Structure 1
Amino acid sequence: MTQSPTQASTCDVSIVIPVYNEEDNLPELVARVGEAMQPSGFSFELICVDDGSRDDSARVLAGLAAKTPWLKPRYLMRNYGQTAALQAGFDAVGGRYTVTLDGDLQNDPLDIPDLIRTLESRSDISMISGWRKDRQDKALSRKLPSMLANRLISWATGVSLHDYGCALKAYRSELVKRIRLYGELHRFVPVLAFEAGAKIMEVPVRHHARTRGQSKYGIDRTFRVLLDLLLMKFMLRYLHRPLHAFGGVGLWMLVPGAGILGYLGVLKLLGESIGGRPLLLLGIMLALMGVQLIAIGLLGEILIRIYHEPEGRDQYRLREPPEL
């Protein structure tokens, strides 16, 4: 993707951190990022996105930014959620590489230079996902759902990773500009990157126990993951051909429904009464549902063409030819 003059790279690395109620962690977080990046030789910027915090996080960020030239905070009007905060950070990046991590000090900024060097040495890799191999969370209510979710997402999407929940990830910034985040899709960034044509690498990273503040995650997010996973599965397989998804199910209902109605129609012509048969209701229900699903698929085909054509969005992306 060619950058416009206004999007030209202003530094080597843009570090994006969504922040929500982390006032106690912010001074140490900013200090640790500086300690990790300043000796590395990479020019960098730190984009902390305050997601409508209810504590003094925004005030602390503003104070730190006044004396830290590479800290560039963004402040959202209200609490939109981690996905929107992450997208706000992606929209502001000016570096050749983009790195994300959490603001709770569980990710270690010291891993960032190594991730960038790996990207620089591997031209075939577009994204590196961190793996908290030695995870320090003690609560089983966090470890067990995370383990199950990682296996389920890997199986369902074909993008096999040990740790989808690790916020520490590094990207080539042209990839970041190609993906858009909505809803609660921040945990599915590797899947979206894969759909955008990225080759993904996973590497072990450090992980620390939380010492300040409270975790924002709970067991209830497992159910949201299942719904988002259904969306990801659809996007990977049927985004550009929705008729195959809805129309396929519709045909499986319409054909037996039409067969049942045809059979009952023959019986009616032969003089038998069919008005009180449950089979009649089943045939009508299957036929109507089948027609409706096929119609939804056709509408989806029309919408995907509207999505692509007016703004000239490509249905494919080209890559460089392989080296001989």
Structure 2
Amino acid sequence: MGISVIEKNAALREKIVPSRGFSLANLLKKADLFHRIVSKLSRTAPLRTGSVTVVIPALNEAGNLEKLFAQICIAFDELGVTFPVLVVDDGSTDESPEILAQLSEKYSFLTVVRHSQCRGVAAVWQTALSHVKTTWIFWGQADLESDPATDIPALLRAYRPGVVAISGWRQQRGDGKSQASHLANRACQHAFGLQIHDMNWIKLVRKDALEGLPIELITHRYLLAVLAGLGHPVVEVATPWHPRFSGVSKFGKKRLLTSGRDFLRVLVWFYLTRSVGQHLQSMGNLQPGLKKRLLKFGSSGIPVEPPTFSVEFRFFPVRDNR
């Protein structure tokens, strides 16, 4: 029996346009694959080459610098990428400038910016922001109490889509400053509603989240608290603490008093900003130019979402610096 015209046409259509390519199941599979690829890329966004700048503040840390960069290179080798590194020398009076000059010749990824005199950590942040061109900033330490070989990968791998800041949380701390830090952290928890254990430590932050914030007022101490209070998701990762490798700590009674003064200033600024922002939201007929100027005065806006918080526990052996 011969094949009918209808059967021939059906066979021809199937040959030209295979039905399996347009099946619902196939489309769903492709959509799922696309979602997984995008999700994977977004989870590893800070790991892409050039997307992070490692910023190191340094003040009279000559004895730590060579070992610091050896540890940074270990981190880069483990991650399989090399990020730019920016060292801001805040007016060192020891051999740090000479050592940094030698290191910048050795490592092409290193840039050094030097302040003519000590201006403080807030000024270091401002200098860093004016030089960093990447999406993310990793804020490290030159004293090797934070080991970049483990801490840089730990914070980068803790990234989740939507997160704007990742904080390190010192484990087994033994520098004698934990009580003062505990009091400061508790005050921030009550004031800003974020249960982070270690506000003033290493951190990975999106640069655009800092735009418009008065860094000279907030300073590095309360940066994460303010970001969380403004509704930005923050993640905390447990990281090992190590004894200072060389040199002396810059912490003292004067810094403790400065921290208390800064906390009160930030608190007043934050609640004033929130109050101004809430009024602006209700002033729909306000002229755009005036509203823009007022919003600029109010810095970066109002907390319109509850703070987001999560903790990822990771435990590492304590390095022996002896």
TM over 0.5: yes
Change (3 A) 1:18 1:171: same
Number of residues of Structure 1 aligned to a counterpart in Structure 2: 246
Q: Does the alignment pair 1:194 with 2:228? A: yes
Match of 2:157 in 1: 117
Partner of 2:174: 136
1:63-74 alignment, distance < 5 Å: 63-74=102-113
- Does the Cα contact within 8 Å between 1:17 and 1:86 map onto a contact in 2? no
* Residue aligned with 2:97, SS: helix
Displacement, 1:69?
A: 0.2
Are residues 27 and 309 of structure 1, via their aligned partners in 2, closer, same or farther at CA, if it must alter by over 3 Å? closer
Superposed, 1:214-233 pairs within 5 Å as 214-233=248-267
Q: 1:196 to 1:243 in 2, by over 3 A?
A: closer
Residue 105 (structure 1) shift: 0.6
- Cα distance in 2 between the residues matched to 1:174 and 1:243: 20
Q: How far apart in 2 are the matches of 1:235 and 1:220?
A: 23
**Change over 3 Å in CA distance of 1:78–1:184 after alignment to 2:** farther
| Contact 1:178/1:196 (8 A) holds in 2 | no
Indicate how the Cα distance of structure 1 residues 201 and 54 shifts in structure 2: closer, same or farther if over 3 A, else same. same
SS in 2 for 1:205: strand
What corresponds to 1:127 in structure 2? 165
Superposed counterparts of 1:160-309, under 5 Å: 160-166=195-201, 168-182=202-216, 185-239=219-273, 241=275, 306=293, 308=295
Deviation at 1:34, TM superposition (A): 1.2
State the 1:124 CA deviation.
2.3
Say what the alpha-carbon RMSD is for the aligned residues. 3.0
| In 1, Cα distance between equivalents of 2:190 and 2:299 | 30
1:73 positional shift: 1.0
Tell me the TM-score normalized by structure 1. Answer: 0.68
Structure 1 residue ranges, 4+ long, deviating more than 6 angstroms after superposition: 316-319
5+ residue gaps, structure 2 = 1-47, 279-289, 306-322
d(CA) in 1 for partners of 2:192 and 2:138? 23
SS at match of 1:226: helix
C-alpha displacement of 1:78: 1.5
What is the Cα deviation at residue 67 of structure 1?
1.4
Equivalent in 43, 46, 50 of residue 85 of structure 2: 46
Mapped to 2, the partners of 1:233 and 1:83 lie a distance apart of 17
Query: Residues 33, 309 of structure 1: CA spacing in aligned structure 2 closer, same or farther, 3 A cutoff?
Result: closer
For structure 1, the residue ranges without an aligned partner over 5 or more in a row are 1-8, 245-302, 320-324
Selected match of 2:74 from 24, 27, 35: 35
State the shift of 1:230 in Å: 1.3
Q: Secondary structure at the match of 1:182?
A: helix
